[in-house]
Structure 1
Amino acid sequence: MEGKTPHDLLATAASTWPDAIALRTDSDEWTYAELDYAASEIAGRVPAGERIAFRAELTPATVAAVWGVPRGGGIAVPIDPGLDVTAAAELSASLGATMGWPEHIDQIRSERDPVPDAPALVVATSGSSGASRGVILTFGNIVSAAFASQLHLGSRRGDVWLLAMPLHHVAGLAILWRAAHDGATVHLQRGFAAEPFAAALAGDVVWTSVVPTMLRRLLAARLDAPRLRGMLVGGAHVPSDLLAEALSRGIPALATYGMTETCSQASTVLPGQEAASVGTVGFPLPGVAVAVDAAPGEIGPISISGSTVATGYVDQPSRSGPLQTNDLGYFDAAGRLVIVGRSDEVIISGGENIYPQVVERALCFVAGVSDAVVFGVADDEWGQRVVAVVEGTGIDEDSVLGAVEGIPQYAKPKQLRVVESLPLLPNGKIDRNGAKDAF
């Protein structure tokens, strides 16, 4: 690996731990040397400067492409493998990418020596609350994120990460970066199903990452994870009752907050502090500055800065300065970050600001309610009125409305619908826009 820079995490891992297991599936294993060779084969066939889109199946071949395309001078654009041909082509075009590999390569190129500011990937945001955007992540962003995560979590060489998160979203990609930084193993599980995932956790898995819906399904299965040191839970609001149940079952669930623009994590509960941190997303990662524009203890807009933060989007001018998120929150007395919702989802009813996530948290404490989505609808008298769609069994609208506690009367839903299951996006997050169809 002579001549490689530390900004190619895979090359560094392969030169340091060539025989360590980088990837494994239920039927195969790849060492770091083997994965690095596969990435180099891809790198030698990438047209310089092109954005190359590919279906991000949870396979070793996709992992090799994630590493190999940037190494060869291209920009990797992993996309949802569930899209049909037309939708995949439309998404690729919107991100300025060529779908699939060129059929003819005139010459084999030498590999690029990555530099920190060079773009490595374009990752589409999840689109859980609106249109998706293509975020440009650099080698420097990726290395900084992996290093900060290692310092925060205390992960180390030889650990095993269980990966079932999509590789076209940053939560899945970040596991690859963390593992390569540490010399850890990634166990690929193609698609999430509770029973196989729980079975894998019963083995030598030390770390994993899930969204709240996945955690709820895991808790419904028989779950025993004797070596697990941390299960990152994020990507959406994490109900406090869900975290409390996980902790009561011996699962070290670590609520985490981040986004595509921050290379996944920005703030995460520290291992060992799970019980004291319920209701928060812990402390910012080393080198990541999280600020709340409000007086201490008061709710305000959140901004994030640091070397993990992306500086641009596809077809938009480069941005500078702190990333102004749409999220609202505050720091508690211990300095832990609490997320209360998004500024574009705040409900204003009768002059009162109502934060949907606070109401959702209260609804989830009602017996029989497993999840909830709260939003505002137009009202001639109040401007907006609070309504909710809840997922649960053995409950009805009146019983839920009568049992909600811990929030002001004006914040309680005026209407409510009970559904067997809330609609989900392909990445497992709740489709908030889809939930509104109940009204």
Structure 2
Amino acid sequence: MDALFVGGTMLRRGLLHPGNPVRIVRQFAALGRWGFGLAGELRQAAARSPHRIAVIDDQRSLSYAQLLDRAERLARSLPVVPGERVGLLCRNSARMIEALIGVTTLGADPVLMNTGLSANQLATVAKDQGLRALIFDDEFAPKVALVDGVEKISEGTALAESHRDSRPPERPGRTIVLTSGTTGVPKGARRPTPGGFRPLCSVIDRIPLRAEQRVMIAAPLFHTWGFAGLQIALALRATIVLRRKFDPAAVLDDLVRHECTGMIAVPVMIQQLMELPAPAVKPALSVVAVSGSALPGGLATRFMDRYGDVLYNLYGSTEASWASIATPQDLRINPRTAGRPPYGTKVAVLDDAGTPVPPGEVGRLFVGNEMLFEGYTNGAGRTMHDGLLATGDLGHVDADGRVYVDGREDDMIVSGGENVYPAEVEGLLADLPQVREVAVIGVPDDEYGQRLAAYLVLRDGETLDPEAVREHVRHHRARFSVPRDVVFLDELPRNATGKVVARELPR
């Protein structure tokens, strides 16, 4: 069954199209030698399509052969040995990809550093992760100067001279992705290396990205979803379009100018695209795949009304990889759904005793697939149940098998003895036409134990009364869901991946 699924998906997505026989042999030989990690995926693409443009960034474009050459030269210039860890503090660029693949080529472990880390956080993470070296963009030099005990490799560092192809290391490099750190210092999560074609096919079966497509990866490459987009793009021998910083107008221009038909983003990015006037020339997008946080309000419907039914929403996490994928058809039925589990993935909704709950009832979400993380670098793990990983989220599954995320387990509050889910109220307020974005959290309350606080950013020129906000919730939800506090802000505090940083909301 797996072979039929994999073969059929690869055929539909253009991965089995005929080509030069010698190059095809070299392509599969590269995968055989190097495996299905980034180092192997780049080499298979360079073997099959050496002259195809691999990446276009703000400064240059490189073919697959050129990208591989630079990654190998960087690998030979690094002062590290297999098994050591190398931090990467880089914007979305060809250099970031070169560094990622150069480090894994050596058998060292790249640690993807969030570009939004403060200097103190950066120093703490470098120490916690035991970094041997740190590759960074020059703009981060002031932060990096405060990090001690690591080799510092700036943009001006010379690459080694070219020579024959490198040999695979005895121990493949393992990528370490940092958790979002919205509630404290981020942890390092060890990502597994795919063992074959099935993980790729599980995603592209549901999200129809195709071989040799031009794909804008707007999501940060240090983010789990941006990193996954890079893995998919290399496997598809796609042309990857990158921009160092997300600017909605510039990205829209890039999509048209570079003839992108695919886009990998986080929800706040498409929200910002929708705040621009409808473009005179629309990009010819066939797939816009988002992940990383919930789609607020009616954003999915508004986006598809403007750009067509091209939006796909992947629900997953750094630890779980993916759990479910919503197609445009799913989102048209209910824009709040996280879709259905893809091939080879199981989602279960369990109560506190580990018993499955009926459809429609809220419980703890657990997921199982072959790409679950291998644990945190500090030795900690996540709760497991019968081979399924706890996502840390609460949710339910409807009668048609669609998954819905109702909030984080640690976000749920008990107000006057009643369970209250902030995400439910957040979604309700996001539907108000005056509201641009909203966050709802639990706060201590002397009378009820806990109550909700709502933080709203209004659209330009709009006004809204706090009592009107409460009345809207009172009309649609039970009294214990009505926010005690309604606070209006100019913007929500977000990290570099677009997630709201709850600890920075005023209390």
What's the TM-score, normalizing by structure 2? 0.79
| Aligned equivalents of 1:109, 1:75: Cα separation in 2 | 23
Question: Of 394, 402, 416, which residue of structure 2 is paired with 1:328?
Answer: 394
- Counterpart residue number, 1:267: 324
Question: Of 247, 253, 274, which residue of structure 2 is paired with 1:193?
Answer: 247
Residue pair 1:66, 1:76 contacting (<8 A) in 2 also? yes
Residue pair 2:301, 2:331 contacting (<8 A) in 1 also? no
Structure 2 alignment gaps of length 5 or more = 1-25, 136-150, 154-158, 351-356
Letter in 1 for 2:327: L
- Counterpart residue number, 2:18: none
Letter in 2 for 1:395: L
Change (3 A) 1:378 1:87: closer
Change (3 A) 1:400 1:432: same
CA drift of 1:69 comes to 0.8
1:129-148 alignment runs, 5 A limit: 129-140=183-194, 145-148=199-202
Residue pair 1:269, 1:277 contacting (<8 A) in 2 also? no
Question: Of 330, 335, 341, which residue of structure 2 is paired with 1:284?
Answer: 341
Q: Residue by residue, what CA displacement relative to the aligned partner does 1:207-229 show, whole Å, maximum 9, x if unpaired?
A: 22333322221111134444212
Say if 2:68 is the partner of 1:13.
no
Change (3 A) 1:112 1:139: farther
Residue pair 2:397, 2:404 contacting (<8 A) in 1 also? yes
CA drift of 1:112 comes to 5.2
Q: Residue by residue, what CA displacement relative to the aligned partner does 1:294-334 show, whole Å, maximum 9, x if unpaired?
A: 22221111112211111211020677732212101111122
Say if 2:277 is the partner of 1:216.
no
Say if 2:427 is the partner of 1:395.
no
- Counterpart residue number, 1:298: 361
Residue pair 1:375, 1:388 contacting (<8 A) in 2 also? yes
Q: Residue by residue, what CA displacement relative to the aligned partner does 1:15-36 show, whole Å, maximum 9, x if unpaired?
A: 1222222101245221111112
- Counterpart residue number, 2:371: 308
CA drift of 1:338 comes to 0.4
CA drift of 1:414 comes to 2.3
- Counterpart residue number, 1:100: 134
What secondary structure sits across from 2:366 in the alignment? strand
| Aligned equivalents of 1:383, 1:103: Cα separation in 2 | 49
CA drift of 1:242 comes to 1.6
Identity, % of aligned positions:
29
Residue pair 2:292, 2:317 contacting (<8 A) in 1 also? yes
| Aligned equivalents of 1:57, 1:86: Cα separation in 2 | 19
Letter in 1 for 2:499: K
Residue pair 2:177, 2:222 contacting (<8 A) in 1 also? yes
- Counterpart residue number, 1:374: 440
| Aligned equivalents of 1:334, 1:114: Cα separation in 2 | 47
Residue pair 1:13, 1:181 contacting (<8 A) in 2 also? yes
Residue pair 1:144, 1:308 contacting (<8 A) in 2 also? no
What secondary structure sits across from 1:113 in the alignment? coil
Change (3 A) 1:419 1:121: same
CA drift of 1:236 comes to 1.8
Residue pair 2:104, 2:174 contacting (<8 A) in 1 also? yes
What secondary structure sits across from 2:450 in the alignment? strand
| Aligned equivalents of 1:211, 1:130: Cα separation in 2 | 21
Which is higher, the Rg of structure 1 or of structure 2? 2
Change (3 A) 1:385 1:103: closer
What secondary structure sits across from 2:222 in the alignment? coil
Question: Of 94, 97, 100, which residue of structure 2 is paired with 1:63?
Answer: 97
Residue pair 1:198, 1:222 contacting (<8 A) in 2 also? no
CA drift of 1:144 comes to 5.4
- Counterpart residue number, 1:414: 484
Change (3 A) 1:141 1:128: farther
1:86-125 alignment runs, 5 A limit: 87-100=121-134, 102=151, 111=166, 113=168, 118-125=172-179
1:239-254 alignment runs, 5 A limit: 239-251=296-308, 252-254=310-312
Q: Residue by residue, what CA displacement relative to the aligned partner does 1:118-139 show, whole Å, maximum 9, x if unpaired?
A: 5521110112244411011132
What secondary structure sits across from 1:345 in the alignment? coil
Residue pair 1:247, 1:274 contacting (<8 A) in 2 also? no
| Aligned equivalents of 2:338, 2:317: Cα separation in 1 | 13
| Aligned equivalents of 1:235, 1:317: Cα separation in 2 | 22
What's the TM-score, normalizing by structure 1? 0.90
Q: Residue by residue, what CA displacement relative to the aligned partner does 1:257-302 show, whole Å, maximum 9, x if unpaired?
A: 1111234x33221255431241101112222222211222211111
What secondary structure sits across from 2:249 in the alignment? helix
- Counterpart residue number, 2:68: 36
- Counterpart residue number, 1:234: 291
What secondary structure sits across from 1:371 in the alignment? strand
Change (3 A) 1:83 1:430: closer
Letter in 2 for 1:40: E
| Aligned equivalents of 2:169, 2:319: Cα separation in 1 | 20
What secondary structure sits across from 2:189 in the alignment? strand
Letter in 2 for 1:138: P
Say if 2:321 is the partner of 1:255.
no
What secondary structure sits across from 1:420 in the alignment? coil
| Aligned equivalents of 2:442, 2:202: Cα separation in 1 | 38
Aligned-pair RMSD on alpha carbons?
2.7
Q: Residue by residue, what CA displacement relative to the aligned partner does 1:146-166 show, whole Å, maximum 9, x if unpaired?
A: 332222212111212112222
1:349-368 alignment runs, 5 A limit: 349-368=415-434
- Counterpart residue number, 1:24: 56
Change (3 A) 1:208 1:196: same
Structure 1 alignment gaps of length 5 or more = none
Larger deviation, residues 291-300 vs 398-407: 398-407
| Aligned equivalents of 1:110, 1:248: Cα separation in 2 | 49
Letter in 2 for 1:88: L
Change (3 A) 1:310 1:151: same
